[in-house]
Amino acid sequence: MTANNNNLVDNNPFLEASTAPFGAIPYDRITLAHYIPAVKEAIAREEAVVDSICNSCDTATFDNTIATLDYAGLLLGDIIGAFNAVANACSSDEILAIEEEMQQLYVAHKNNITLNDKLFARVKAVYETDNSHLTTEQRRLLEQTYNSFVRNGANLAGEERDEYRRLTEQLSTLSIKFQENSIKDTDAYTLHVENEADLEGVPEDVIDAARNNAKENGKEGWLFTLHRPSYIPFITFCRNRELRKEMYMAYSTLGAKGNEFDNCAIVKETVNCRLRLARLLGYNTYSDYVLSERMAQNTDAVFAMLGKLTWSYMPVARKEMEEITAFAKKSEDKDFEFQPWDFAYYSERFKEAKFDLTDEMVRPYFELNQAIYGAFYLATRLYGITFKQNHDIPVFTPDAKVWEVYDYDGTYLALLYCDFYARKGKHAGAWMDSIKPQYKSKEGDHRPHITLSTNYRKPMPGKPTLLNHDEFNTLMHEFGHCLHGILSNVTYPSLCSPNVLWDFVEMPSQIMENFATEQEFLQHFAFHHKTGDNIPAETLRKIQESRTFNAGYQCVRQARLGLLDQSWHNITRPFDGDVLEYEYQATQALMTLPHIEGTGITTNFGHIMSGGYSAGYYSYKWAEILDADAYARFKEEGIMNMKTAQSFREEILAKGDSEHPMTLYIRFRGHKPQIEPLLERDGISTICPHL
């Protein structure tokens, strides 16, 4: 340990051997004050390793340069992974301040590595020598390491290098501020309902939660928020149109209200910084820069895919909107003017009428604990792995639960932390993340620590959490990401699952959603939470038939989001216009709902403005093509066929980024991905002639 009299270093749990089972993060001993000192010490230790590589008199080799560098950042990665779990679960002003300082330290540190001339010279020396003796995984790590240096400014010099540092640090700060504004703008809004008649149609458990929320805030009546467990059921079921409009407008103007949490200026600064960064590195646009390291490889491929999907799905989307609009007019009157805040409500009513299916018919069969058991059961059937809950491992939030994961032969595989409930300060949506990566060293196979987070509504005391089918789909999706991490089996930490090319990372998650409507799977856990009866065959049939409901709308919506992302990241001149107007002009051809001035997506589009999906949001649809085609093999050979699953595990899940994903995909599937299975799954018969 470097000399440091600071007690927060000398007695820092991160810098001591963990006494928790499986080397778990000792969250019970860690305070917020420990993070920054631990990060600084970890940076110092990694810098010492970098110095030893640079000052070595030995000829640069894969082992003494590439591999040594890859292992050097493990401690820093663990600290950041541990902190991210906390920050995502329960953000606060103090946590946001730590996050900003930590990110600044991290970016500056990583710049010091990739812009280190002596280090890059050694990396380049290894890259340019004969490496035929290396394994496939070693060659992949060498290639990725060299490319990472080049893509992160190693070939820059003088003022250009200084500019690169400034831009990366500025982008880091902007990302955190965008995210902070989104959280705070979401938390700032509440809808206070005092007349119970205004709640007609809203599910009882949502009303109970709103009543409890009001009580906790010292109010009478009901308090609804823009957090998804409150917003989605309200906008979907509330009969009161004016209140739906109020909620819709509040949600659709997040980050664009002109208040202290407005993100418009941050969006402009972000896209302009990204453009300057790309130009600095020799690319015409930021999208060109990003896509050069993706399966798609270039913008032409992305626009071609989005165009093909739009051509095939838009006629269906228009027909769907016509049917829903006609249904709404019939329900109201012929002069009824359909608006965006009507879509979720009347779409759900139309679905109920068309399929005789409601969420309340489905929820009793997807109690959260049973749904978790179902996901675990499927993993056991497919891969032979088992789960054992551990009540003693410290957690990053009181709601989190931990499971030990074991292989079919009893070998320990991973820790899985699950945090299911929405709360104030928690990031929106659902996600998987890694606290610790999987890798191998002379000490053995170091197994990963994985997190699974959702935003389900926390039940009232004594009541269960019941999921609708979309929420169960979300669980299956994120669990697929978790399996990708749990079953990783590589040597080097930077290549472990799910650290794969960004337009491949969603395939292992999305393939799991296919099981969510399979009777052969559901029969083992989808029991009524009170009676214990299996989900009725008729209800399951309706779920299966309704799977293609609004498939056109959903695909065109995703294509529009992908187009919006590309529009922001294909600019060739600095942007200084109106953010929402630019969004509208760029994507109006793919709009299926009426446009309301002042509303938009960009200012709350965390995926592309503060997440990892900038210039890469198309990857959801890209991966959907992959997952539908891959699942076709499961359908052909039996969805519970362990031989098929073992092939998927060995060729996809275990491999991480040890080989190019297209190589892995073809090895599993036997051919390049084909779009027909996706179209068939979505019930699309009109196929673009150029597909």
pLDDT digits (tens, 9 = 90+) for 631-660: 999 999 999 999 999 999 999 999 999 999
Distance, in Å, from the CA atom of 505 to the CA atom of 612, rounded to the nearest integer, reads: 11
Q: Are 170 and 190 in contact (CB under 8 A)?
A: no
pLDDT digits (tens, 9 = 90+) for 82-116: 999 999 999 899 999 999 999 999 999 999 999 99
Distance, in Å, from the CA atom of 247 to the CA atom of 339, rounded to the nearest integer, reads: 13
Position 688 confidence tier, pLDDT thresholds 50, 70, 90: low
Mean pLDDT of 229-241: 96
Q: Where are the alpha helices (DSSP H) in 128-283?
A: 136-151, 158-188, 204-216, 228-237, 241-252, 264-280
Task: Name the token pair of 424.
Answer: 């104030």
Catalytic residues: 478
Short-list 226, 230, 228, 225, CA closest to 202:
230
Distance, in Å, from the CA atom of 518 to the CA atom of 329, rounded to the nearest integer, reads: 35
Position 50 confidence tier, pLDDT thresholds 50, 70, 90: very high
Contacts of residue 92, defined as CB under 8 A and 6 or more positions apart, other chains included, come to 425
Distance, in Å, from the CA atom of 25 to the CA atom of 674, rounded to the nearest integer, reads: 43
Amino acid type, 352: E
Q: Is the pLDDT of residue 317 over 70?
A: yes
Locus of tokens 């949600």:
251
If phi > 0 it is left, if psi is from -120 to 50 it is alpha, else beta; for residue 8 that is alpha
pLDDT digits (tens, 9 = 90+) for 244-260: 999 999 999 999 999 99
Mean pLDDT of 616-630: 95
pLDDT digits (tens, 9 = 90+) for 508-566: 999 999 999 999 999 999 999 999 999 999 999 999 999 999 999 999 999 999 999 99
Q: Are 553 and 317 in contact (CB under 8 A)?
A: yes
The region of weakest confidence among 2-16, 298-312, 314-328 is: 2-16
Q: Is the pLDDT of residue 689 over 60?
A: no
pLDDT digits (tens, 9 = 90+) for 135-146: 999 999 999 999
Q: Are 417 and 85 in contact (CB under 8 A)?
A: yes
Q: What is the 3-state secondary structure (H, E, C) of 46-73?
A: HHHHHHHHHCCCCCCCHHHHHHHHHHHC
Task: Name the token pair of 113.
Answer: 């590595």
Q: Is the pLDDT of residue 691 over 60?
A: no
Would you call the peptide bond into 493 cis, given omega within 30 degrees of 0 as the criterion?
Answer: no
pLDDT value at position 502? 87
Task: Name the token pair of 353.
Answer: 């009428």
Q: Are 478 and 432 in contact (CB under 8 A)?
A: yes
Q: Is the pLDDT of residue 7 over 50?
A: yes
- Note the Cα 77 to chain centre separation in Å: 19
Q: Is the pLDDT of residue 489 over 60?
A: yes
pLDDT value at position 612? 85
- Give CA torsion, residues 319, 561, 86, 471, to 10 deg: 10
Q: Are 600 and 583 in contact (CB under 8 A)?
A: yes
For the chain, what is the largest distance between any 2 Cα atoms, rounded to a whole number of angstroms?
84
Whole-angstrom Cα Rg for the chain? 25
Short-list 406, 296, 212, CA closest to 288:
296
Distance, in Å, from the CA atom of 677 to the CA atom of 627, rounded to the nearest integer, reads: 9
Four-residue CA torsion sign, 169, 174, 179, 183: positive
pLDDT digits (tens, 9 = 90+) for 656-681: 999 999 999 999 999 999 999 999 99
- Note the Cα 663 to chain centre separation in Å: 24
Indicate the domain borders of the chain. Answer: 7-90+116-151, 189-252
Q: pTM of the prediction?
A: 0.91
Contacts of residue 155, defined as CB under 8 A and 6 or more positions apart, other chains included, come to none
Position 8 confidence tier, pLDDT thresholds 50, 70, 90: confident
**In CATH terms, is domain 7-90+116-151 a member of 3.30.300.30?**
no
Q: Are 402 and 393 in contact (CB under 8 A)?
A: yes
Mean predicted lDDT score pLDDT of the chain: 95
pLDDT value at position 17? 82
| Residues across the chain | 691
Locus of tokens 């799910």:
498
Task: Name the token pair of 87.
Answer: 């920050």
Q: Is the pLDDT of residue 5 over 90?
A: no
CA triple 227-228-229, angle to 5 deg: 100
Mean pLDDT of 205-212: 94
pLDDT digits (tens, 9 = 90+) for 412-432: 999 999 999 999 889 888 999
Q: Are 181 and 255 in contact (CB under 8 A)?
A: yes
User: Which helix (H) or strand (E) covers residue 434, if one does?
Assistant: strand 431-436
DSSP letter at 654 equals: T
Locus of tokens 């068309």:
354
- Note the Cα 237 to chain centre separation in Å: 27
pLDDT value at position 569? 98
Q: Is the pLDDT of residue 608 over 60?
A: yes
Q: Are 134 and 142 in contact (CB under 8 A)?
A: yes
- What residues form DSSP beta bridges with 432? 452
Q: Is the pLDDT of residue 6 over 80?
A: no
